[in-house]
């Protein structure tokens, strides 16, 4: 395996672990702060952002060198292009038809971004070793 690809695979595995850790910690903190409405909002926000993170990874993999010998599938391209519309529709339905916390849901949307920032800090700190 290419050393660069192995590096990126390890970083991606750490990001997935950090997402799970941050989502669990955030879920506990949201439940303690605002009860089940905050916990549900945070969980839905974190789940939606994790799904979007996975879709972005899938799109990047479909554009990379490993996909050079595969013809692009129009169905996947359309789905990936419409992912924000899908997430917006789910968010609209949650906001208008449920009693969960909007603030907690918005905080949950930042879980993968926080995991990526923590991975960047990890790489900056341990780059010399």
Structure confidence by residue, pLDDT tens digits, 74-109: 766 677 778 778 878 877 887 788 888 888 988 999
Distance between CA atoms of residues 73 and 9, nearest Å: 24
Distance between CA atoms of residues 74 and 81, nearest Å: 10
**What confidence category does residue 71 fall into, taking pLDDT thresholds of 50, 70 and 90?**
low
What is the pLDDT at residue 81?
73
Each domain of the chain, given as residue ranges in start order, spans 9-126
What is the pLDDT at residue 67?
60
What is the pLDDT at residue 64?
67
Residue by residue, DSSP assigns the chain as --HHHHHHHHHHHHHHHHHHHHHHHHHHHHHHHHHHHHHHHHHHHHHHHHHHHHHHHHHHHHHSGGGTTSPPPHHHHHHHHTHHHHHHHHHHHHHHH--S-HHHHHHHTTHHHHHHHHHHHHHHHHTT-
What is the pLDDT at residue 60?
77
pTM above 0.75, yes or no: yes
Segment 118-124 mean pLDDT: 93
Structure confidence by residue, pLDDT tens digits, 10-60: 999 999 999 999 999 999 999 999 999 999 999 999 998 998 888 888 877
**Quick one: CA torsion of 111, 122, 8, 51, rounded to 10 degrees?**
0
- Report whether 111 contacts 19 (CB < 8 A): yes
What is the pLDDT at residue 116?
95
**Quick one: CA torsion of 88, 114, 26, 127, rounded to 10 degrees?**
150
Task: Return the biggest CA–CA distance within the chain.
Answer: 51
């Amino acid at each position: 395996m290419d050393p660069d690809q192995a590096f990126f695979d390890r970083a991606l595995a750490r990001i997935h672990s950090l997402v799970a850790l941050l989502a669990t910690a955030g879920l506990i903190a949201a439940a303690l702060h605002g009860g089940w409405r905050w916990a549900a909002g945070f969980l839905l926000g974190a789940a939606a952002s994790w799904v979007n993170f996975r879709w972005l990874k899938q799109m990047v993999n479909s554009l990379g060198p490993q996909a050079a010998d595969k013809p692009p599938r129009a169905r996947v391209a359309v789905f990936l292009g419409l992912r924000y519309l899908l997430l917006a529709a789910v968010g609209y339905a949650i906001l208008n038809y449920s009693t969960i916390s909007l603030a907690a849901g918005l905080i949950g949307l930042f879980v993968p971004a926080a995991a990526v920032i923590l991975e960047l800090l990890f790489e900056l700190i341990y780059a010399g070793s």
